[in-house]
């Protein structure tokens, strides 16, 4: 499992995965603050794995400004692409 892939973490995560020959099965987000989730989309996409987050923090995945505030976060992090993918099993 990959835990909290924050801002610009994707390259470092990929390097560690290659170096140690790992096969990620999921990304675990300890909470929804942007410094913990900023790289979740590229990391999950690169490995086709789900991201798991507590339901109380899920709203921050589709609206990260609620977790940090636009006036504080945008100068530091720039524009962000976030999303949500829900799967159902029959």
Is residue 56 in a domain? yes
Is residue 44 in a domain? yes
Please give the pLDDT value at position 89: 53
Task: Provide the CA 18 distance to its chain's centre, in angstroms.
Answer: 19
71 lies in which domain range? 2-77
Count structural domains, the chain: 1
Where helices occur in the chain by DSSP H, the ranges are: 10-20, 34-37, 40-47, 59-62, 65-68, 70-77
Residue 78 scores a pLDDT above 60: no
Is residue 84 in a domain? no
Q: What is the C-alpha to C-alpha distance for residues 83 and 39, in angstroms, rounded to an integer? A: 11
Span 69-85, average pLDDT: 52
Q: Which of 64, 78, 3, 54 is nearest to 34 (CA)?
A: 64
Is residue 83 in a domain? no
Is residue 21 in a domain? yes
**Which tokens belong to 30?**
């300890």
Span 72-87, average pLDDT: 52
Which CATH number covers residue 17?
A: 3.60.15.10
Which residue has better confidence, 83 or 1?
1
């Amino acid at each position: 499992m990959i835990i909290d892939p924050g801002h610009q973490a994707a390259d470092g995560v990929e390097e560690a995965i290659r170096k140690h020959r790992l096969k990620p099965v999921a990304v675990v987000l300890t909470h929804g603050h942007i410094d913990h989730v900023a790289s979740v989309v590229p990391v999950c996409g690169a490995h086709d794995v789900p991201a798991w987050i507590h339901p109380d923090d899920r709203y921050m995945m589709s609206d990260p400004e609620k977790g940090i505030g636009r006036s504080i976060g945008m100068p530091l992090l720039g524009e962000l692409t976030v999303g949500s993918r829900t799967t159902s099993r029959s």
